[in-house]
C-alpha cells in the first residue's frame, strides 16, 4: 500500500511539472509576438526581426539567454530604429528560456 501511495505521488508531481512548464513556442506566442511578430518577422518601431537575425543565428546560447532574461535597456540597447527597451523577462525559468532559445534558433528560422 505504501508503495502505491509513493508511486501515485511521484506521478502527480510529474504531471504538475509538465503542465506548468511551457514550451518555447507557447512562450513565444504569448510573450514575444507583440514586439517581434508572430513569425519573428519584427514589428516597426517595436522590435527587430528575429528571423534571419545574425545575433540569433550565430550568437551563443548564453548571450541570447542573457538578452532574454535581462532585456535590453539603456546602454545595452543596440538599435536606434527601435527606440523602446526590451523588457527583462524575469518570470521565465532557465529551462523555459533554454527552450525559447532553441525555438528562435530553430523553427523561427525556417
Question: Would you tell me which residues interact with ligand HEC (CB under 6 A)?
Answer: 27, 31-32, 34-36, 46-48, 50, 53, 55-56, 64, 67-68, 72, 77-79, 82, 84, 86-87, 89, 100, 104
In angstroms, what is the minimal distance from the CB of 67 to ligand HEC? 5
- Nearer residue to ligand HEC within complex by CB, 9 or 93: 93
Closest listed residue to residue 74, CA positions, set 90, 91, 86: 86
In angstroms, what is the minimal distance from the CB of 18 to ligand HEC? 20
Question: Max alpha carbon distance in the chain (Å)?
Answer: 65
End-to-end CA distance of the chain: 51
In angstroms, what is the minimal distance from the CB of 80 to ligand HEC? 8
- Nearer residue to ligand HEC within complex by CB, 15 or 80: 80
In angstroms, what is the minimal distance from the CB of 77 to ligand HEC? 4
Cα 1 to Cα 99: distance, rounded to the nearest angstrom: 39
The long-range contacts involving 53-59, CB below 8 angstroms and separated by at least 24 positions, are: 56/104, 56/105, 56/108, 56/109, 57/105, 57/109
Amino acid at each position: 500500500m505504501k508503495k502505491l501511495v509513493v508511486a501515485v505521488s511521484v506521478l502527480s508531481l510529474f504531471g504538475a511539472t509538465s503542465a506548468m512548464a511551457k514550451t518555447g513556442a507557447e512562450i513565444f506566442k504569448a510573450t514575444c509576438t507583440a514586439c517581434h511578430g508572430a513569425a519573428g518577422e519584427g514589428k516597426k518601431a517595436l522590435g527587430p526581426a528575429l528571423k534571419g537575425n545574425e545575433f540569433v543565428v550565430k550568437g551563443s546560447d548564453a548571450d541570447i539567454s542573457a538578452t532574454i532574461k535581462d532585456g535590453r535597456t539603456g546602454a545595452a540597447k543596440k538599435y536606434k530604429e527601435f527606440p523602446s527597451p526590451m523588457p527583462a523577462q524575469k518570470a521565465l525559468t532557465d529551462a523555459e528560456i533554454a527552450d525559447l532559445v532553441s525555438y528562435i534558433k530553430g523553427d523561427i528560422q525556417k
